Chains A and B, each alone.
Chain A
Amino acid sequence: MIQRNYTATFGQLLYRGRSRWVPLPEWACFLLHVGARVAGSRAEDGRLVVALSLPVRTFAAALAGASAVVTAFVNRPAVSDGNEHFDYLASLPEGTAISHHRANVVQQGRLVGVETDVDDGIPRVRIRLRSGDRCLPVGLSREIQVIDEPGTLKVTRQKLIRDPEFLSRALPGIDVAALSAKTRLDCVLVGVQHALQEELLARQFGTGEGAGIHEGSLQGIVRARDVTGSKDAYRSAIIPATSEEGDPPVSFSTPHVAIFDGARAFSYWRSRWTESNWLVLLDRGAPSAEEGADAVNQAYATRLRESNALAGVEVPPGVEALAYVERR
């Protein structure tokens, strides 16, 4: 039986087959299921780890990430706009043109970056105004707006949703405008950056039927930071698997889900995001699969307990699945 009702939040998705649009195959539906389960699970005593060994990893992280982002959006209302706006500002490059609005005074300036005060441990956004630098904590970060260029005082506006028909049909019942408009880091995808970007941007997905197919990409749902080259609001971030010296993105939010796309991603980054639930994707065709399996098996051996996170989800042929809870 193919599990078409993969999650309550998704409508029927299609992909571009050899000569026509066809419904997502069983394994892709399964990955949507798994993404939702990993994002929807909250164990008080530990972290949920779901590990999958697959015949190929292509699109696995993107599909699971899409489902994780939507589930987090549905299950976890924003704590405050300030957190999201702070995360958004933190994602912008140094020198981004901004305006600072306080009482009746609007000043233009440049974003310097995010820093944490060594004395009080509070993260603040530093901006450079003509009158001098200002450091604003999360609660005051909404006083800062991104503008096109100093002098214009025009607040940056970009097309919020790229494929509105695709998105609204793919996610019936979801406020796709709200999903697309606000920044919150719900999910990190750790893997080979160019491959993940290519999968997220691939316009190989569609909704609708007959001649009325609306095509789109998973990036519209996953909304990974910086992928489209613009500074849109984001819901997730791609972390290059092998940037050992790199830091994870500066963020006020803790991502609810970390997806490790490949053995190397898991080996290098599994000491991070210890508060998040994990999805580990191993490609049995890759030489590094056994190294990844050893790491998973070692963690499984010292697990806190088994997990029933995948209960009721039929594991498709050729896919191997393992779910457990480990100590944070």
Chain B
Amino acid sequence: MTSSMQLAADLYEAASDLDVERIYVADEEVRRFSLAVRALQRRLGDDAGDSYWRPVLARLRRVRWELATVPLPFSHAAFGLVSSAAFLDERLRECQRVFPDHAPAARELNQALVRLSSGDRDPLGVAVRALSWKDGDSVVVLRDSHHAGAVADWLGRSIGAAVLAAAQLVSPRIYAEAAVIGPASWFPHQVFGAPRARVIRIVQFSWLSDDSLDIGIFAGSTIGARGERASLPAYAGDDQASAVPSHELPPVTDWTAIASGTGGTTDRRPDRPDSVDAYLLLLASEQAVYLEAEEGSRAYIVELGSSKELQMVATRSIQPGAYIVNRVGGEGDYIPAIADSILGGAAPRLRATQRAWKDRLGELINSEGIQTVVSDLRAAGSPRATRANLRRWASEGSIRTEDKTDFQALMKLIGLGADATQIWSEMDLIDQAHLRAGQRVRALLVREILNGDTRDLEERGWQDYQVEEIEGEGALRVARVEARAPETIRIGARQTRQLLAVERDLWQG
């Protein structure tokens, strides 16, 4: 997009004149249900981690979260309350025999859910409709994008407002009014710190507490005086005895379950040579992806905001909100796939050569141990032989060493010394093809994203872009990062940069 002083001036004006107020919504049935979920969690104590209860609690938490964040009638198909009630009914059938002490509370909770699913009330939606709306210049902001489409159809059209998830609120458009659904503490800082509306109304259940709102991000700073209007005091709930702290409701991502369900582990032992440490990311496409955590691992990211930015960054620095690029279908990263297309008929032979020397090196490390191989490499004349470098050279992501001297020493050690020059040249061809593949991907991203219309990408959180060079489905998926595991996961090297399905309750529950 073109940089514009006028646009920047508008954004400053919105930030300096922002008006924020809270709108409280009372609903006894939802309050009772939420309190009952809380009570069951407390009652279960350590049993909450039992495999019997984990899926039950995950589903209950997800339902509670959606009821508090999505302004739709409870009978709306998007909530799926009937199927959730059936799911719980099935799961709790054996409860009386397995956990008799907890059975009455669980049954009562399920009945509360059945009652909610049979009603047609829509407390948040009614509150939103009651606000005065300027047709075409207003926006309803949801915490998550999952139900944005349903809310747009049901509510947005009738009040003439756009419906966006918080992460989509990055384009430079400024609305006259916004209704934010849920306590302010559930929303990313930029919703209030870099507002895209002049008036923001926080529409939340009255029994939910909220933290104070402060746009500052520095300790000990000075904020321009009028900008402080974007502050709000904390809210303790309408009835402190039955208030639910808002920080209890956001979904708890079960990283351990997601990791084990996708072939990863947090256990480092035994350290298999074909496994790597990786960052586990959850994407708006409701998929997971692993990115290598080793030093030097990089990936393209797109940041959409007042300006669009495309950068190749270290994987360690990729945070929620950024958009990352992955291959749809097929195995592994998109760069080798495009590089193979560039190499044409020579690709199978060159890749076979690459696999052959990697296999030999892997076998040598397995049989002799990494330290012995490092010592032998040094003796063979490799000046850069270290454990970290050797791991990298042996990994699939590395094509050849930076320096030919190291490569010759490697080849000598694995019995390919006589062919070292030939193999070096062949690896150089692969390396060049990777470089050109990266340039093509960059050109595609510049054309489609930096210079293109990204409204669909922003609204949905992900978008596929066709690439002729990739065999099969031939697409790159650009998807927003929604969450990132707090610790690295050990995963097979071949499983990195692949899109993996994730069960929703593990993430949203």
A109 to B193, CA, bound (A): 57
Question: Smallest Cβ distance from B119 to chain A, in angstroms?
Answer: 38
Question: Smallest Cβ distance from A15 to chain B, in angstroms?
Answer: 4
Told that A202-B5, A242-B311, A284-B194 touch, could you supply 8 new A-B pairs with CB distance under 8 A?
A15-B5, A16-B6, A202-B2, A204-B5, A283-B306, A285-B170, A317-B225, A320-B221
Within the complex, which residue of B6, B172, B224, B319 is in contact with A318, where a contact is CB–CB below 8 Å?
Answer: B224
Q: CB of A17 within 8 A of chain B?
A: yes
Residues of A within 8 A of B388 (CB): none
Question: What residue in chain B is nearest A51 (Cβ atoms)?
Answer: B218
Mark interface residues in B296-334 (1 if CB within 8 Å of A CB, else 0): 000000010111010111100101111000000000000
Question: Smallest Cβ distance from A280 to chain B, in angstroms?
Answer: 10
A285 touches B305 (CB 8 A): yes
Mark interface residues in B3-25 (1 if CB within 8 Å of A CB, else 0): 11111110110111110000000
Question: Smallest Cβ distance from B405 to chain A, in angstroms?
Answer: 20
Q: CB of A264 within 8 A of chain B?
A: yes
Q: Contacts A55-B15, A56-B306, A287-B321: A320 and B220 contacting too (C-beta < 8 A)?
A: no
A244 touches B8 (CB 8 A): no
Within the complex, which residue of A53, A204, A267, A316 is in contact with B216, where a contact is CB–CB below 8 Å?
Answer: A53
A297 touches B219 (CB 8 A): yes
Residues of B within 8 A of A34 (CB): none
Q: CB of B466 within 8 A of chain A?
A: no
Q: What are some 9 contacts across the A-B interface (CB < 8 A)?
A: A56-B305, A242-B313, A267-B317, A284-B189, A285-B306, A287-B321, A316-B12, A319-B227, A322-B220
Q: CB of A252 within 8 A of chain B?
A: no
A195 touches B12 (CB 8 A): no
Q: CB of A25 within 8 A of chain B?
A: yes
Question: What residue in chain A is nearest B170 (Cβ atoms)?
Answer: A285
Q: Contacts A192-B311, A301-B219: A283 and B16 contacting too (C-beta < 8 A)?
A: no
A293 to B4, CA, bound (A): 26
Within the complex, which residue of A16, A285, A297, A306 is in contact with B218, where a contact is CB–CB below 8 Å?
Answer: A297
Residues of B within 8 A of A316 (CB): 12, 16, 224, 227
Question: What residue in chain B is nearest A296 (Cβ atoms)?
Answer: B218
Residues of A within 8 A of B313 (CB): 242, 264
Residues of B within 8 A of A318 (CB): 12, 15-16, 18, 215, 224, 226-227, 230
Q: CB of A59 within 8 A of chain B?
A: yes
Mark interface residues in A306-328 (1 if CB within 8 Å of B CB, else 0): 10001000111111111000000
A244 to B195, CA, bound (A): 32
Q: CB of A300 within 8 A of chain B?
A: yes
A56 touches B222 (CB 8 A): no
Question: Smallest Cβ distance from B8 to chain A, in angstroms?
Answer: 4
**Contact surface of B with A, Cβ cutoff 8 Å:** 2-9, 11-12, 14-18, 170, 172, 188-190, 193-195, 215-227, 230, 303, 305-307, 309, 311-314, 317, 319-322, 450
A59 touches B222 (CB 8 A): no
Mark interface residues in A246-290 (1 if CB within 8 Å of B CB, else 0): 000000000000000000100100000000000000111111111
B220 touches A286 (CB 8 A): no
**Contact surface of A with B, Cβ cutoff 8 Å:** 15-18, 25, 27-28, 51, 53-59, 192, 194-195, 198-199, 202, 204-205, 241-242, 244, 264, 267, 282-291, 293, 296-297, 300-301, 306, 310, 314-322
Question: Smallest Cβ distance from B18 to chain A, in angstroms?
Answer: 8
A59 to B2, CA, bound (A): 12
A286 touches B195 (CB 8 A): no
Question: What residue in chain B is nearest A24 (Cβ atoms)?
Answer: B5
Residues of B within 8 A of A27 (CB): 9, 12
Q: Contacts A58-B3, A264-B311, A284-B189: A53 and B218 contacting too (C-beta < 8 A)?
A: yes
Ranked 8 nearest A-B pairs via Cβ: A287-B321, A317-B16, A285-B194, A318-B15, A317-B226, A55-B15, A284-B193, A293-B217
Question: Smallest Cβ distance from A16 to chain B, in angstroms?
Answer: 7
Residues of B within 8 A of A315 (CB): 222-224
Residues of B within 8 A of A15 (CB): 5-6, 9
Within the complex, which residue of A28, A54, A194, A291 is in contact with B319, where a contact is CB–CB below 8 Å?
Answer: A291
Question: Smallest Cβ distance from B320 to chain A, in angstroms?
Answer: 6
Q: Which of B3, B5, B18, B312 is most buried by chain A, counting CB atoms within 10 A of its CB? A: B5
A5 to B312, CA, bound (A): 41
A317 touches B227 (CB 8 A): yes
A218 to B40, CA, bound (A): 63
Question: Smallest Cβ distance from A14 to chain B, in angstroms?
Answer: 10
B9 touches A25 (CB 8 A): yes
B312 touches A293 (CB 8 A): no
Within the complex, which residue of B3, B221, B312 is in contact with A322, where a contact is CB–CB below 8 Å?
Answer: B221
Question: What residue in chain B is nearest A62 (Cβ atoms)?
Answer: B3
B222 touches A320 (CB 8 A): yes
Question: Smallest Cβ distance from B186 to chain A, in angstroms?
Answer: 15
A55 to B225, CA, bound (A): 15
Question: Smallest Cβ distance from A326 to chain B, in angstroms?
Answer: 13
Question: Smallest Cβ distance from A234 to chain B, in angstroms?
Answer: 21
Within the complex, which residue of B3, B7, B224, B305 is in contact with A286, where a contact is CB–CB below 8 Å?
Answer: B305
Residues of B within 8 A of A25 (CB): 9, 12
Residues of A within 8 A of B227 (CB): 316-320
A288 touches B319 (CB 8 A): yes
A282 to B107, CA, bound (A): 51
Residues of A within 8 A of B307 (CB): 57-58, 192, 195
Q: Contacts A198-B2, A264-B311: A59 and B8 contacting too (C-beta < 8 A)?
A: yes
Residues of A within 8 A of B17 (CB): 317
A287 touches B319 (CB 8 A): yes
A192 touches B309 (CB 8 A): yes
A25 to B4, CA, bound (A): 13
Q: Which of A58, A315, A316, A318 is most buried by chain B, counting CB atoms within 10 A of its CB? A: A318
Residues of B within 8 A of A241 (CB): 311
Residues of A within 8 A of B2 (CB): 198, 202
Q: Which of A51, A56, A321 is most buried by chain B, counting CB atoms within 10 A of its CB? A: A56
Residues of B within 8 A of A314 (CB): 224
A41 to B317, CA, bound (A): 32
